[in-house]
């Protein structure tokens, strides 16, 4: 275990002005507070905060951050209190420690809710002071390094949480070294057989490619020297989890990957970066579509570099990263490389002006819009996991979006009101569909209508947390409006039978007695069935005859044969209706009907490919809307799932479906066309509504053996 003077010396090596007294006091206080506590490994518990502090000294962080690392578990795991930390170490360090202390007493009922609340608190603290994040990531990194001492079931949970939250968060903050180490450790825990297989193949490739890599490195260095460019050239190897992720994303086998080994060129200034690029492209053929300039368009985590792939010696594909030494420092250490931690708190703007930190603040603002802990976690994962594309407004404003984003995501990135009123778009001057996936450099114009509102089906199309949150909010508002309309009709019909009219003032005055804030909320509750129309009448002091209530109940009951009728509005009374079997359709998504003489109406989701065949027959189209479904009623939705050909893949899928109370009506499985080791699975599910379906699809997407999940559109 590191001694007190050794820690101080580590800090003073990079910061001669370090507060030695503060470090000594924090060391002694934390050691005494943890006392005889031990870890799962049997080591003294104090070894953990000490190792966390050591990791942060490698990042060259300030004395306050190192002290906070030593103290970060004292309030949570010992008799120490927040007040004591304030008295002994001041408000700055106490605030850092408080941001790292989990919430112990919350009115939550699930582990997921607890996780969400702790993550919410952590992100809020990070937005105030990013050093909270740095200590938390160092804390998680050391926990991952000692994960083999933890019980298997807890080990799995910690590894999954790390893979879903903390590793992507480190990546988004530019801390690539921390991210890669976390991912590789978690990968070994979550999928040990695949990790072992990839590591074995890498060892063999190293042995086979050793001399070739040395030759390429020498040829690259010589080519630059001939043009008077002094560069540091080094070979590198992709990490196992990075290789696995690329295999999954591109549906490739390990043998098909051409960029397992790459080269890094470090230079003194930006001009030399572009000169070096010219030298490389003159000497070797560039691979089309494999050039990216992140110097002129940095990533959201401040990453800057030029990426190119060429056909080098021996016809070998050579992937290169070209950047300055200062860019390399930020690429490796992210926000920890900024001046704040070298010069003290006086230069906080160096971090606050960084794109990574601005993204963090934006993330916190967006995530607070989620209503439930589940939504909060889902939005976090959506924002953390994706790579970026860069698009422009007509005025040249740069908008960074996740890869796979649509013009709808672009509209919501500009402003929520723009997204809500979006009805169309133009991409690079041409009219395009709103489901089009945006590419780097696209110029996007959003076409708006004040009368528009986002259809619920958009939630399955967009990829950003902000867009999904706004669509859900608008959908909830629309559904509430529909329920309120139904509720008003029920109340008015009930009163009409008594030859009465609804008095708005009396109804508003009666609402507080029903536990609602306003009349619309109460009417929506009646429309949903949470209240009866008679409840409102009684609250207004009205008496309704029992025979009228019996008649009303009878007319609103289920069909006499016990089957459910389709809760769809807009069709003529008595018209037969059925849902399109190839796609299914569920409440919450926009639907239309196609009339077939002698058969009735077939209900289609608006995105169904089959609707194209009716484009020239507008007289057959019927505008439909969902009404209120009966309790327990379920609807068909057909989804396509791409799964790995591995033991347990199908079990993962069926387990998720079963856990969420859905049922499988049909299931087909066949080999994925043109790709080895993957299968396409098409399932017809029974779900209650679009929200139920999206929860299932999102959980399926998170499973390690599931490559992709989508709705069947035709």
Domains and CATH numbers, the chain: 4-190 (1.10.3210.10), 193-336 (3.30.460.10), 472-555 (no CATH), 568-626 (no CATH), 635-711 (3.30.70.260)
d(CA 368, CA 120): 8
pLDDT in tens, 128-178: 677 888 888 899 999 999 999 988 888 988 998 888 778 888 887 778 889
Q: Which of 362, 348, 242 is nearest to 300 (CA)?
A: 362
More confident residue, 632 or 411: 411
More confident residue, 145 or 621: 145
pLDDT at 113: 56
Claim: this prediction has a pTM higher than 0.95: no
Q: What's the alpha-carbon Rg for the chain, to the nearest Å?
A: 30
- Kindly state the tokens that stand for 338: 């900024």
Starting at the earlier edge strand, list the strands of the sheet with 678-687: 663-671, 678-687, 635-644, 706-711
Q: How large is the greatest C-alpha to C-alpha distance in the chain, in angstroms? A: 100
The residues near 660 (Cβ < 8 Å, ≥ 6 apart) are 692, 695, 696, 699
pLDDT of 534 > 90? The answer is no
* Candidate ranges 170-174, 397-401, 492-496, 636-640; pick with highest mean pLDDT: 636-640
Among 618-627, 649-658, 664-673, where is mean pLDDT lowest? 664-673
Mean pLDDT to the nearest integer, 428-457: 88
Among 101-105, 453-457, 499-503, 691-695, where is mean pLDDT lowest? 101-105
pLDDT at 364: 57
Q: Which of 288, 331, 332 is nearest to 308 (CA)?
A: 288
pLDDT in tens, 516-527: 788 888 888 887
List Cα–Cα distances, 599 to 187, 576, 594, 626, in angstroms. Answer: 54, 7, 10, 21
pLDDT at 547: 45
Please report which residue ranges of 251-354 form alpha helices under DSSP H: 270-283, 325-333, 340-343, 349-352
pLDDT at 346: 37
d(CA 51, CA 1): 8
Let me know: does 684 contact 664? Beta carbons within 8 Å.
yes
d(CA 50, CA 67): 10
pLDDT at 392: 82
pLDDT of 690 > 60? The answer is yes
pLDDT in tens, 233-289: 988 878 888 888 777 666 666 665 656 778 899 999 999 999 999 999 998 888 888
**Residues in a beta bridge with 215:** none
Average pLDDT value for the chain: 80
More confident residue, 529 or 28: 28
pLDDT of 641 > 60? The answer is yes
Which residues are tagged catalytic?
76-77
pLDDT at 349: 45
pLDDT at 70: 95
List Cα–Cα distances, 684 to 458, 564, 583, 638, in angstroms. Answer: 21, 19, 8, 4
Residue 634's SS3 state is coil
- Kindly state the tokens that stand for 401: 């979006």
pLDDT of 550 > 60? The answer is no
Let me know: does 84 contact 75? Beta carbons within 8 Å.
no
User: Which residue is associated with the tokens 């899928």?
Assistant: 653
pLDDT at 193: 87
pLDDT in tens, 184-243: 999 999 888 888 888 888 888 777 766 777 888 888 899 999 999 999 998 887 888 888
pLDDT of 347 > 50? The answer is no
Mean pLDDT to the nearest integer, 497-501: 80
Among 66-80, 86-100, 421-435, 492-506, where is mean pLDDT lowest? 492-506
List Cα–Cα distances, 672 to 644, 704, 706, in angstroms. Answer: 10, 18, 13
Rounded percentage of the chain residues whose pLDDT exceeds 70: 82
pLDDT at 557: 36
Among 113-127, 515-529, 588-602, where is mean pLDDT lowest? 113-127
pLDDT at 235: 83
SS3 content of the chain, % helix, strand, coil (to 5): 55, 15, 30
List Cα–Cα distances, 686 to 249, 458, 606, 692, in angstroms. Answer: 29, 20, 19, 10
Long-range contacts of 393-401 (CB under 8 A, 24+ apart): 393/443, 393/444, 393/445, 394/443, 394/445, 398/297, 399/444, 400/299, 400/300, 401/438, 401/464
577-579 and 600-605 strand pairing: parallel
Mean pLDDT to the nearest integer, 59-82: 90
pLDDT of 102 > 60? The answer is no
pLDDT at 515: 75
Q: Which of 549, 552, 589, 594 is nearest to 571 (CA)?
A: 594
d(CA 399, CA 560): 56
388-392 and 398-402 strand pairing: antiparallel
Instruction: Based on DSSP, count helices (H) and strands (E) in the chain, helices before strands.
Output: 28, 21
- Kindly state the tokens that stand for 37: 């506590």
Mean pLDDT to the nearest integer, 573-594: 87
Phi and psi at 335, nearest 5°, equal -60, -25
- Kindly state the tokens that stand for 346: 């006086």
Mean pLDDT to the nearest integer, 447-458: 87
The residues near 17 (Cβ < 8 Å, ≥ 6 apart) are none
């Amino acid at each position: 275990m590191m001694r007190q003077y050794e820690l101080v010396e580590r800090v003073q090596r990079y910061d001669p002005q370090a507060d030695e007294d503060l470090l000594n006091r924090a060391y002694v206080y934390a050691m005494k507070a943890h006392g005889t506590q031990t870890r799962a490994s049997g080591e003294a518990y104090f070894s953990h905060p000490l190792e966390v502090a050591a990791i942060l000294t490698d990042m060259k962080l300030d004395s306050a951050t190192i002290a906070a690392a030593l103290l970060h578990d004292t309030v949570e795991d010992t008799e120490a209190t927040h007040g004591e930390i304030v008295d002994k170490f001041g408000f700055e360090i106490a605030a850092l420690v408080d941001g790292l202390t989990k919430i112990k007493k919350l009115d939550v009922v699930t582990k997921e809710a607890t996780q969400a609340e702790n993550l919410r608190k952590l992100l809020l603290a990070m937005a105030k002071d990013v050093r909270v994040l740095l200590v938390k990531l160092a804390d998680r990194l050391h926990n991952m390094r000692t994960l083999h001492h933890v019980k298997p079931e807890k080990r799995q949970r910690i590894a999954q949480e790390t893979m879903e939250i903390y590793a992507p968060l480190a990546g988004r903050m530019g801390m690539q070294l921390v991210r890669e180490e976390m991912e590789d450790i978690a990968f070994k825990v979550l999928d040990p057989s695949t990790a072992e297989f990839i590591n074995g193949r890498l060892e063999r490739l190293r042995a086979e490619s050793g001399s070739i890599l040395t030759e390429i490195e020498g040829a690259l260095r010589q080519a630059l020297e001939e043009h008077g460019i002094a560069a540091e050239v080094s070979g590198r190897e992709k990490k196992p989890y990075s290789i696995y992720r690329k295999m999954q994303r591109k549906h490739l086998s390990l043998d098909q990957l051409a960029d397992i080994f790459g080269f890094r060129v470090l230079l003194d200034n930006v001009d030399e970066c572009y000169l070096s690029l010219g030298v490389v492209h003159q000497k070797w053929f560039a691979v089309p579509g494999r050039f990216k300039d992140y110097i002129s368009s940095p990533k959201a985590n401040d990453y800057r570099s030029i990426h190119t792939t060429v056909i080098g010696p021996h016809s070998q594909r050579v992937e290169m990263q070209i950047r300055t030494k200062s860019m390399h420092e930020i690429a490796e250490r992210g926000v920890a490389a900024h001046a704040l931690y070298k010069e003290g708190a006086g230069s906080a703007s160096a971090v606050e002006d960084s794109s990574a930190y601005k993204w963090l603040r934006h993330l916190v603002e967006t995530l607070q819009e989620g209503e439930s802990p589940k939504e909060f976690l889902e939005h976090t994962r959506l924002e953390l996991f994706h790579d970026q594309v860069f698009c422009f407004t007509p005025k040249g404003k740069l908008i960074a979006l996740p890869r796979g984003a649509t013009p709808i995501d672009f509209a919501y990135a500009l402003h929520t009101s723009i997204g809500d009123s979006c009805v169309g778009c133009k991409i690079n001057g041409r009219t395009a569909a709103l489901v089009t996936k945006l590419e780097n450099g696209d110029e996007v114009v959003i076409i708006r209508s004040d009368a528009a509102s986002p259809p619920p089906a958009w939630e399955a199309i967009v990829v950003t947390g902000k867009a999904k949150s706004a669509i859900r909010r608008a959908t909830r508002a629309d559904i509430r409006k529909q329920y309120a309309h139904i509720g008003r009709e029920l109340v008015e019909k009930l009163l009409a039978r008594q030859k009465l009219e609804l008095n708005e003032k009396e109804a508003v005055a009666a609402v507080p007695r029903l536990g609602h804030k306003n009349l619309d909320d109460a009417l929506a509750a009646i429309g949903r069935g949470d209240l009866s129309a008679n409840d409102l009448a009684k609250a207004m002091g009205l008496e309704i005859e029992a025979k009228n209530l019996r008649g009303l109940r009878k007319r609103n009951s289920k069909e006499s044969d016990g089957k459910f009728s389709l809760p769809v509005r807009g069709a003529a009374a008595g018209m037969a209706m059925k849902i399109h079997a190839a796609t299914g359709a569920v409440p919450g998504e926009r639907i239309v009907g196609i009339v077939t003489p002698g058969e009735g109406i077939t209900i289609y989701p608006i995105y169904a490919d089959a609707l194209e065949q009716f484009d020239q027959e507008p007289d057959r189209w019927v505008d439909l809307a969902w009404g209120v479904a009966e309790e327990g009623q379920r609807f068909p939705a057909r989804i396509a799932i791409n799964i790995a050909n591995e033991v347990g893949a199908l079990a993962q899928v069926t387990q998720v479906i079963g856990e969420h109370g859905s049922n499988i009506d049909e299931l087909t499985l066949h080999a994925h066309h043109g790709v080895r080791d993957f299968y396409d699975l098409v399932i017809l599910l029974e779900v209650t509504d679009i929200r139920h379906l999206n929860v299932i699809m999102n959980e399926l997407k998170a499973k390690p053996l599931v490559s992709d999940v989508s709705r069947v559109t035709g």
